[in-house]
């Protein structure tokens, strides 16, 4: 059976390649967005790559053969603004600050400030890399259509009939007698979601241990990219701090326009990622996600502005130690990629159907 399936896959892939020009194949490999037109050779092919099918059932757009992703039809101006904010300061720092720091005007030479330059570029590289990782990798997308409801009805019609128990919330016991976890059924993805998983209406997928959907990275923050998100915030705060210190040192020796701009920019840009970092550290220290924290609040839309983060009694994910909760989050395994975009799969794969 496996040999037959492999032959069918090779035959279908050949049909797809023969139906497209080299330019169309290159464009499809570079960017995969939207739904295939019905009746096209690709749409009726027996086999296609998983990332081409995922673009039809999710709100993702895939790049470079499924290696990178972003959310399609979303407000991407936030993502672009963060990217610009990451690129402009190091350019100004390299052009105007590095020459002065290397040949310091006070005659001390480069030995005094070389460490400051190295630390700045290291922190900036960490911020840039983790920004790309958190915004373009999968947050922990769960496969679809694992627990499909019954199908039945009059001849010629196949309405979906969800059993009554699918509308209930299942409560499961934990190691702590006073704590429990709830499991719900997702009617959009047709799966019973694991504990702490949630459906994102923007990405149109269920995400494992979802914290929230972040507009600044145009992606969900979940189990597989949460540590990248925290590292990005930490590195961004460190970059702004080093940039502020180096520009202030330059400004203390001579008054120029660029050091003034960099001091103001880094001082203003530091506060928002710092507030987010402190908030998420408090969340992880108390063993909560943003969605779980919102359930404990009444009428609060922005949990970052809430004056106090409280521990939830009976939380099964709270180890009782702030440091242990943070360490467990940063050291835990990212978990398997349950829906690998680059996997070759049949067009009739149940995961690629709505």
Among candidate residues 257, 253, 323, the one with its CA nearest the CA of residue 113: 253
Query: Please, is 144 exposed, middle or buried when counting C-beta atoms within 10 Å of its C-beta (0-12, 13-18, 19+)?
Result: buried
Query: Which ranges of the chain does DSSP label H, i.e. alpha helix?
Result: 2-19, 22-30, 50-57, 77-92, 98-102, 114-136, 226-253, 257-269, 271-285, 290-295, 322-331
Tell me how far apart the alpha carbons of residues 44 and 31 are, in angstroms, rounded to a whole number.
20
**Is residue 300 within 8 Å of 329, Cβ to Cβ?**
no
Tell me how far apart the alpha carbons of residues 289 and 221 are, in angstroms, rounded to a whole number.
10
240 classed as catalytic: no
Among candidate residues 163, 215, 213, 156, the one with its CA nearest the CA of residue 190: 163
DSSP conformational letter for 166: G
Tell me how far apart the alpha carbons of residues 268 and 347 are, in angstroms, rounded to a whole number.
50
Report the 10 Å Cβ neighbour count for 286: 19
Q: Which of 214, 220, 237, 240 is catalytic?
A: 214
**Is residue 154 within 8 Å of 206, Cβ to Cβ?**
no
Question: What percentage of the chain's residues is helix, strand, coil (to nearest 5)?
Answer: 50, 15, 40
Instruction: Enumerate residues 6+ apart whose C-beta is below 8 A from 77.
Output: none
Residues taking part in catalysis = 214
């Amino acid at each position: 059976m496996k040999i037959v399936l492999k032959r069918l896959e090779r035959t279908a892939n050949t049909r797809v390649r023969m139906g497209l020009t080299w330019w169309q194949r290159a464009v499809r490999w570079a960017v995969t967005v939207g739904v295939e037109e019905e009746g096209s050779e690709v749409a009726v092919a027996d086999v296609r790559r998983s990332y081409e099918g995922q673009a039809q059932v999710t709100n993702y757009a895939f790049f470079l053969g499924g290696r990178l992703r972003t959310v399609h039809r979303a407000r991407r101006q936030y993502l672009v603004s963060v990217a610009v904010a990451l690129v402009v300061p190091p350019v100004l720092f390299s052009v105007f600050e590095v020459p002065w720091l290397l040949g310091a005007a006070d005659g001390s030479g480069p030995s005094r400030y070389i460490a400051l330059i190295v630390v700045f570029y290291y922190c900036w590289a960490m911020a840039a890399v983790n920004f790309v990782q958190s915004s373009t990798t999968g947050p922990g997308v769960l496969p679809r259509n694992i627990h499909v409801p019954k199908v039945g009805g009059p001849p010629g019609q196949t309405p979906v009939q969800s059993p009554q128990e699918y509308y209930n919330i299942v409560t499961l016991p934990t190691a702590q007698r006073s704590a429990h976890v709830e499991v719900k059924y997702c009617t959009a993805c047709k799966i019973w979601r694991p504990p702490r998983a949630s459906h994102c209406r923007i990405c149109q997928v269920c995400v494992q241990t979802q914290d929230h959907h972040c507009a600044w990275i145009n992606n969900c923050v979940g189990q597989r990219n949460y540590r990248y998100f925290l590292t990005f915030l930490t590195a961004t705060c460190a970059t702004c701090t080093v940039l502020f210190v180096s520009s202030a040192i330059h400004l203390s020796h001579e008054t120029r326009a660029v050091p003034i701009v960099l001091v103001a920019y880094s001082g203003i840009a530091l506060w928002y990622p710092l507030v987010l970092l402190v908030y998420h550290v408090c969340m992880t220290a108390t063993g909560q996600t943003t969605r779980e924290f919102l359930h404990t609040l009444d009428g609060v839309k922005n949990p970052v502005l809430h004056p106090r983060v409280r521990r939830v009694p009976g939380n099964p994910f709270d180890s009782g130690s702030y440091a242990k909760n943070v360490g467990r989050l940063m050291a835990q395994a990212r978990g398997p990629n349950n829906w690998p975009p680059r996997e070759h799969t049949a067009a009739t794969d149940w995961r690629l159907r709505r």
